Amino acid sequence: MTSAPSLPQRPVPREVTRVVSATAPPSLLLVGGAGTGKSAVLASLRERIGAARVVDDAHRLTAGELDELIAGAAGAAGLVVATEPRPHRPEIRALAAAFAAHGSVVELRNWTARETAGRAASFGLQLAPPQVRSLHRLTGGVPALVDTALDAVRTETDVRRAVAERIRMQLATDRDLAAVLALVELGVALDPGEVAAVLDLPADRALDLVDTGRASGLLDPDENLVPGAAGIPAAAVGRHGLHASARRLLSTRLEAGTLTPRLARSLAGIGLTDPHLADHLVALAAGAAPGEAADLLDAAITAGADPAALAVPRAEVAFAAGDLTTAAQLADRLLERCEGLDVDDVRAATRISASVAAQRGMLDRSADLFEWLGPDRAGGDAPIAAAVLLAAGRPDAARHLRSAVAAGAPTSSVSAARLVEEGLRESVGGDGRVAMNRLTRALTSLDGETTSRAWPDGADAIAALLCLHSGELDHARALLARPAVPTVRNRLLAAWADLLGGDLAAATTAAERLAPEVSAGRDLLFLHALQVGLARRSGDLGALTMRWRAAQGVVAEYSVDLFGLLPLGELWLAAVRVGEPDRVAHLVADARRLLATLGEPPLWGAALHWYGVQAAIAANRPSDLVPHARALALAAESTAYAAVLARAGQAWLGVLRGDVDTRRVREAAEALAAVGLPWDGAKLAGEAALRAEDTAAATGLLQIARDIRQNGRVVRTPADTPPSAPDDERPSAPTVPGPLSEREAQVADLVVSGLTYREVGNHLYISAKTVEHHVARIRRRLGAGSRSELLSLLRAMGHGTDAHRHTHSDGNGGTPACP
């Protein structure tokens, strides 16, 4: 049997070599923690230091022996000493001072990752950078541990086990050191006073142990245990010894009021059960962020708290942390044994379960839960229940729940819930201004509220949705920006404000950022519909089809409610555009029944009916547009926003029937842009221009479409001069600015003339791909929504005519002729 190859000799640090070479015999103090290679360096130096006296492990010497070394360091004779740092021992400090004054002090540090890689090479190993980083992290760069790990790699044995075995051997001879390091792993700082109290040691021994722990090579610079040592000190101390120390530590910290959440969790994590620890963990959870609160409550149960007593707060914080699965499981378990529960717990479990269902896009289930709860048990949650029932299209049940008598103090949360319900009720059957006042006051009531109480939807989201349905896009953005850290739902609704307002670049960026963060069904519905809406507005049928397919999962699970009409509208238009309207027909029917049940609320219904107008346009079915136009006309009596949509619907109906009233289309397009729907306004004007028989009218409408797309509003040009102006003040022919470069103008002339990209390229001596790039740039610059619209706009600008070609090109791609 052959023996394992010996470890390669460690290199002597350059600083040590310089000292030894410069002075004979040398006067040198080597300072380094355990495993840094002090003894190996001394062994390498023995033949080179001549008559110098060599002393290893000076930290183990008595005070008298150290005094002799101090005197030797101040004398002329050569002396080489190695020691671990012991800052609490005055003799070690004096020894270092003597060598600093009369010789040299070299500190041996742990190796860097780069030095670890170099050491691996001396073993004949070529490790990849990830391997080096992993090995360095495991060992903390302690040379002795690095060598152990590298030898394990070389001999193809388990690296982690080899390192752990070396550490176990190191701690086997010093149980007190193992106890100190076990406290460090729990999260205790190396404080001599606390070490003395917890381990019941004399003060001087505690000081020595703190120094020994820091010099052990098992702590990183932040005094955390290196990964390779995880669990080893606790195992060395044993479960009984660890728990005894932990109980004394718990008592000390509770008495001093310094028990931190991290330490409390660690104490529970080792299996320590104690009522005081459990109570403290519950108290800490009350003021913690949701994710941390969930961990603290779980730890409290491990420490001996009653799981049944913590079921409601655990479900609340799980919901607040976004862990809907855990929240639903905990709430359902409570509801399954509701007969034996206190009514407060039944109410809370119902609200939490209903909130989970709402976030999953199943508001009908939320409504079922609150109807089951009933007014007798609803108490302070009656306003929340009534709001959910109303949004789910159950106004009678909502009125029934409002009859509940609220019990308990009118806290901020209770007051906000009541204001939300009042605001939603006003938005459905009352005054929109009163509705927005109530909803905004609800937000003010919740300012500074830190509770993690579960709600089916936030007051800010409901208020913002009402704004989005009413064309108040800036107000929606302001409401959604109120929290210091906006939620995913807030950011998603803000992206919807950008989409509806025509800022497609901002909406696209937001959608891309939100996609990895959105997981709940309701938010997924809004995200998919947002992506569908962006694809539809881009005019890219391939992208629209892809986005439509991706949305099918959430479409299949969606239950119609008042708060989901906007995404339904976008999905409806996408379904028509890709030729699959039957996939959403039942949902559209449900939505129309919902609005009918609620009395056709104009603030909420106008947006869906406007989508209905656009769906009829996309399907080229004017008859389908009529009922939506009528609904908008009725809503126009209540809201200015609905009035704008109603006039636009009438204008669209005329366009589809071939009756293009230029003035009516222009006014409708301008009004749509003014209420935050520039994309819709530009589409109306552009489509009307393509159907207009009069060239001058078509030119003016195309210019309006272009201005709206580029500016979000109409910029008046001479073509917009009202008919009432005197004849001599009107231009003889409509003119449209032509902000194209010389080359773009040449390309435009030839494209309008009917040439293919290849033929245009042959004329201008450029590639067909370059022609395509020019055309794409021209289309973006002019704001044309389609190829046909682009050609119409270019013709209106004069491109393609003989006069225009003569001005801009010689016909062969040469230099334009001089005027």
**Distant-in-sequence, close-in-space partners of 320: CB < 8 Å, separation ≥ 6:** 290, 293, 452, 454
- Percent residues over pLDDT 90 in the chain: 50
Task: Give the phi and the psi of residue 547 in degrees, each rounded to 5.
Answer: -65, -35
DSSP secondary structure string, 357-387?
A: HHHTT-HHHHHHHHHHHHHHHHGGGHHHHHH
3-state secondary structure of 726: coil
| pLDDT over 80 (residue 765) | no
* Average pLDDT over every residue of 29-41: 91
Cβ within 8 Å of residue 506, ≥6 positions away: 495, 498
Between the alpha carbon of residue 607 and those of residues 33, 162, 494, 611, the distances in Å are 72, 69, 17, 6
Task: Summarize the confidence of residues 713-724 as an average pLDDT.
Answer: 37
Residues 89, 86: Cα–Cα separation, whole Å: 6
Task: Tell me the backbone φ, ψ of residue 287, rounded to 5 degrees.
Answer: -110, 10
**Average pLDDT, integer, range 804-819:** 36
Q: Residue 715 — very low, low, confident or very high, per pLDDT cuts 50/70/90?
A: very low
Render pLDDT for 679-706 as a digit per residue (tens, 0 to 9): 788 888 888 887 777 777 888 888 888 8
**C-beta neighbour count of 227 within 10 angstroms:** 14
For residues 126 and 780, give the distance between their C-alpha atoms in angstroms, rounded to a whole number. Answer: 55
Structure token digits, residue 37 = 């290679």
Q: Does domain 14-109 have CATH number 3.40.50.300?
A: yes
The tokens for 815 are 């230099």
CA Rg, the chain, in Å?
39
In angstroms, the Cα distances linking 466 to 129, 491, 497, 562 are: 55, 16, 12, 10
The answer for residues whose C-beta is within 8 angstroms of residue 474's C-beta and 6 or more apart is 676
Q: Are the beta carbons of 233 and 171 closer than 8 angstroms?
A: yes
Q: Tell me, what's the pLDDT at 597? A: 95
Closest of 612, 619, 544, 536 to residue 576, by C-alpha:
619
Kindly indicate the confidence band of residue 76, based on its pLDDT and cuts at 50, 70 and 90: low
25 upstream amide cis, omega within 30 of 0: yes
Sketch the domain layout of the chain as residue ranges.
14-109, 117-291, 308-457, 600-716, 742-808
Res 519: pLDDT: 83
pLDDT band at 107 (very low <50, low <70, confident <90, very high): very high
State how far the Cα of 580 lies from the Cα of 574, in Å rounded to an integer. 8
Residue 674: the pLDDT is 82
Average pLDDT, the chain: 85
Confirm whether pTM is higher than 0.85. no
Of 168-177, 230-239, 373-382, 802-811, least confident by mean pLDDT is: 802-811
Give the mean pLDDT of 313-324.
Answer: 93
Q: In what order do the strands lie in the sheet with 104-108?
A: 53-55, 79-83, 27-32, 104-108
Listed residue (766, 731, 722, 764) closest to 746, CA to CA: 764
Nearest to 784 by CA among 794, 772, 771: 794
User: How far is residue 473's CA from residue 327's CA, in Å, rounded to a whole number?
Assistant: 34
pLDDT in tens, 528-562: 999 999 998 887 788 889 999 999 988 888 889 99
pLDDT digits (tens, 9 = 90+) for 493-525: 999 999 988 888 899 999 999 999 998 889 999
pLDDT at 424 over 70: yes
Mean per-residue pLDDT, 157-186: 93
Helix, strand, coil percentages in the chain from 3-state DSSP, rounded to 5: 70, 5, 30
Cα 155 off chain centre by: 45
Cα-based distances in Å from 446 to 350, 384, 414, 425: 22, 15, 10, 20
DSSP reduced 3-state for 106: strand
pLDDT digits (tens, 9 = 90+) for 126-155: 899 999 999 999 999 999 999 999 999 999
Confidence band (pLDDT; 50, 70, 90) for 368?
A: very high
Residue-wise DSSP of 786-814: SHHHHHHHHHHTTTTSHHHHHHH--SSS-
pLDDT score of 738: 46
How, if at all, do strands 104-108 and 53-55 pair? unpaired
Instruction: Return the pLDDT at 240.
Output: 93
Judge whether residue 813 has pLDDT over 80: no
pLDDT at position 739, please? 55
pLDDT at 728: 37
Q: Quickly state the pLDDT bin for 408 (edges 50, 70, 90).
A: low
**What tokens were used for 794?**
């270019």
CA dihedral (276, 277, 281, 284) in degrees, to 10, reads 70
Q: Position of tokens 């001479």?
A: 718
Neighbours of 161 (CB within 10 A): 10
pLDDT at position 818 is 26
Correct CATH for 742-808 of 1.10.10.10, 1.10.1060.10, 3.40.50.980, 3.40.190.10: 1.10.10.10
Closest among 520, 580, 516 to 548, alpha carbons compared:
580
> What tokens were used for 677?
């729907």
| Bridge partners for 27 per DSSP | 79
Two structure tokens written together for 377: 């048990």
Q: Minimal CA–CA distance to 417: which of 448, 379, 371?
A: 379
